Amino acid sequence: MLFAYWWWRWWKTKPAPAPGETPRFFRWFHRESDLDSVSYAALMTATRGDWMKLDPKARVRQFRALVLLSLRIAPVSYREIELGDLRPGLYSNDERNAAGSAIARTLVLLSPSGLRAISDAQTDEGNPTVGAGVTDTGVVVTIVVVALAAVCALAAVYLGAHAAVRINFDDEVTRRLLSAQAMAIQVLTLHVERERAVGQELPFSEEERSLLMRLEDDQRRLATMQGRPLPSPFEGAREFAREATRVATSMTTLALVLVGAYFLAQTKEVMNHGGKR
């Protein structure tokens, strides 16, 4: 899969903040000299689950790229939207909100709860971080700037800063979640590229929806293992409504079966009773 031209052009033309500019939020500044290639490599590594085959520096570099790709596609839009500033008003309907929420939620699940921004943070490819960025407890070719506005953005900078020590890339559940995340990023990237080409939003296909639901299922399993409810990656985030639909459909099917069985039994009883007469 090659990155769509609009995506690469967006990364390359995103301006850095002007000197002396007062930000609305603390920010994460990330330097990457080969963002396109590293991002593509990150998607392939995550899809295959090959994190432990990389040396530690390459692993952190690719993981940071995957985190940034997650924030970029989470708005489910090809328009220029500030990274990290997710909110329900970005989405035209609940299903698109649920898709973006699923992408952003992975970052929250991989981070500790109760994160709070305390300063700007800087990272440089796969090198150690400069500036803590968030508590719980780093010159520029291409600068990616993330506003630490939503919960998922705080989680993103935390993961970008502490991936080397906080993420167990050898854990099967983590690898499966990151694989589902990478596939969802690729599917949504191609989806919004088709929307850009036609100039309007398009509904998700059944295949796209199924893959996004699989990601949400993996997130539910991890949340259960962590002993917490499925977290919200930003205020007003949605989940796919398929569970209620599935239950309602199953109950309806069960009701029809029971009704059918009842009338079949009644018919047999009448026939048997009539025969005795």
| Model confidence pLDDT, tens digit, residues 97-150 | 999 999 999 999 998 888 777 777 888 889 877 654 444 443 333 456 676 668
Same domain flag for 176 and 101? yes
- In angstroms, rounded to a whole number, what is the distance separating the alpha carbons of residues 84 and 57? 24
Same domain flag for 190 and 207? yes
Same domain flag for 227 and 257? no
Q: What is the pLDDT of residues 24-74, one digit of tens each?
A: 567 788 888 888 999 999 999 999 999 999 999 999 999 999 999 999 999
Q: Residue 19: pLDDT above 50?
A: no
Contact indicator for 230, 220 with CB cutoff of 8 Å? yes
Same domain flag for 69 and 155? yes
- In angstroms, rounded to a whole number, what is the distance separating the alpha carbons of residues 128 and 160? 10
Same domain flag for 210 and 234? yes
Q: What's the pLDDT at 24?
A: 53
Same domain flag for 167 and 85? yes
Q: What's the pLDDT at 78?
A: 87
What is residue 89's DSSP assignment?
G
Q: Residue 12: pLDDT above 50?
A: no
**Boundaries of domain holding 267:** 247-277
Same domain flag for 259 and 183? no
Give mean pLDDT, residues 192-212. Answer: 95
Q: What's the pLDDT at 39?
A: 94
Same domain flag for 131 and 201? yes
Same domain flag for 31 and 83? yes
DSSP string of 8-54? Answer: HHHHHHPPPPPTT---SS-EEEEE-TTHHHHHHHHHHHHHHT-GGGS
- In angstroms, rounded to a whole number, what is the distance separating the alpha carbons of residues 157 and 146? 8
Same domain flag for 153 and 257? no
pLDDT class of 81 with cuts at 50, 70, 90: confident
Q: How many domains does the chain have?
A: 2
Same domain flag for 220 and 262? no
Place of tokens 């002007």: 18
Q: What is the pLDDT of residues 229-274, one digit of tens each?
A: 999 999 999 999 865 444 444 444 444 445 455 455 555 554 455 5
pTM for this prediction = 0.77
- In angstroms, rounded to a whole number, what is the distance separating the alpha carbons of residues 263 and 117? 64
Same domain flag for 182 and 254? no
